[in-house]
Amino acid sequence: MSGSESVTPGSLIDLLRQRIIGAISTATAPGKWRVVVADRPALKIVSSVLQMHSVLEQNVVTIQLITRNRQPYPDMDAVYILVPCADSISRVIDDFRVDSRTGELQHRKYARAHLFFTGALSDTLLAHLRSSPAARYIKAVAELYIEYNPIESRVFLTTPSEQPFYALYSPHALNLVSRDLDAAADRLLSVIVSLGIRPYIRYYRPLSSAPYEALEPSLMSGYGTATACPRIAESMAALIQQKLNDYYSHESNTDNSTKRPETLTPSVVIVLDRSVDLYSPLLHEFTYQALVHDLIDLDGGNTYTYTLESTDGQSQSAEAELSEQKDPIWKQLRHWNISEVSQTLADKFEKLLKDNFGMQAAKQV
């Protein structure tokens, strides 16, 4: 990890960063140069917690997008970070192409491949890799379980689609429920694996509830006729437990004894859905973070673009990233009440003026 990046104990951001850097730095022999290849979803995960220079510091020559035409590095190993899907697998195989008639190597982009997947790789895709001509050049295959978005050290998103609330609760989107629940469960599994815990899954069931199968006839005829709430939390809990069982079964069949269930820290995961609290989305919070999101248009949810005027009168664009890794004041004040923040910022500004004689003179002018 780069020495310029601070570490917060128990931080999901740091856990994700460590897993990615660990994969890149240990894939090849120490001191040996390598290439990192990623697909767009995986690259988005990497860039959410790591700056470019932090990756390049791991003896990485360049970072390449797997969907683009790439410069070959036949004398260097490639570290692939990919979503476990058929398209990415096909592109890896294509990087080590052989002649279909002779079976001889026709094209090789890299010396060897070290494959790291963001989530669980299916047996079907693994078998496809093993039976491909590229198999002889694949040095390692591993699952990182990094499919989640840590927006704060202890807050993460498992957003399965662009409109998850609609997909889970609308009577007109029943065909989307299973897809979104499964995607969210995969992301929650990544968090659990990253934390190294063995959870007991508990969930909330509304007093008036029913499984989707029972709800479907009444819901399809109109939402107003429904008398029960769908069991979102219960369905999610069942999926998480199923995926955890599959994960434990897989790890028990490997030599990695540190990941077996009996060696992990016992914990409790409580699964809730919006029906447990219908009022919070309608209330206005008076925290600094809520105020910023209400009043300022943030690019990507955390970057504020504004205009500065230079000493020669020229205007130039500038950016401020509201990130706990880069902005200690934001990290300290974001959850405070706005009245407390206002006074604290005024005190900090006065102290800055007091400690900086140049700023005092500029203020007087």
314-329 confidence digits (pLDDT tens): 888 888 888 888 888 9
Nearest to 96 by CA among 86, 84, 106, 82: 106
- The backbone torsions φ and ψ at residue 35, rounded to the nearest 5 degrees and listed phi first, read -120, 140
pLDDT tops 60 at residue 14: yes
State the CB neighbour count (10 A cutoff) for residue 213. 7
Q: Measured between alpha carbons, how far is 305 from 311 in angstroms, rounded to an integer?
A: 20
Top-confidence range, 3-7, 74-78, 255-259, 359-363 = 74-78
Mean pLDDT, rounded, for 121-136: 93
Q: What is the pLDDT of residue 167?
A: 86
Mean pLDDT of 98-112: 75
Task: Please name the amino acid found at residue 140.
Answer: A
Total length of the chain: 365
Which residue in 180, 169, 192, 194 sits closest to 236, CA to CA? 180
Which residue type does 81 have?
I
| SS3 at position 317 | strand
Nearest to 83 by CA among 155, 140, 144: 144
Distance of CA 201 to the CA centre of its chain: 22
**Mean pLDDT computed over every residue of the chain:** 85
Query: CA-to-CA distance for 205 and 72, rounded, in angstroms?
Result: 54
DSSP 8-state assignment for residue 111:
S
pTM: 0.81
pLDDT in the model for residue 212:
52
Q: Number of C-alpha atoms within 13 angstroms, CB side, residue 19?
A: 27
- Three-class DSSP category at 177: helix
pLDDT tens digit string along 25-52?
Answer: 988 888 899 999 999 999 999 998 998 9
Task: List Cβ neighbours of 70 (8 Å cut-off, separation of 6 or more).
Answer: 37, 64, 109
- Mean of pLDDT values over 277-298: 87
Tokens in use for 184?
Answer: 């969210």
Q: What is the pLDDT of residues 55-99, one digit of tens each?
A: 999 999 999 999 999 999 999 999 999 999 999 999 999 999 876
In the block, residue with structure tokens 């299916």: 122
pLDDT of residue 31: 82
d(CA 6, CA 326): 9
Inter-residue contact 76 to 1 (CB < 8 Å): no
Q: What is the pLDDT of residue 296?
A: 87
Query: Which 3 state secondary structure label does DSSP give 337?
Result: strand
Q: Which of 111-115, 169-173, 212-216, 348-352 has the highest mean pLDDT?
A: 111-115
Which amino acid belongs to residue 289? Answer: Q
Identify the three-state secondary structure at position 223: helix
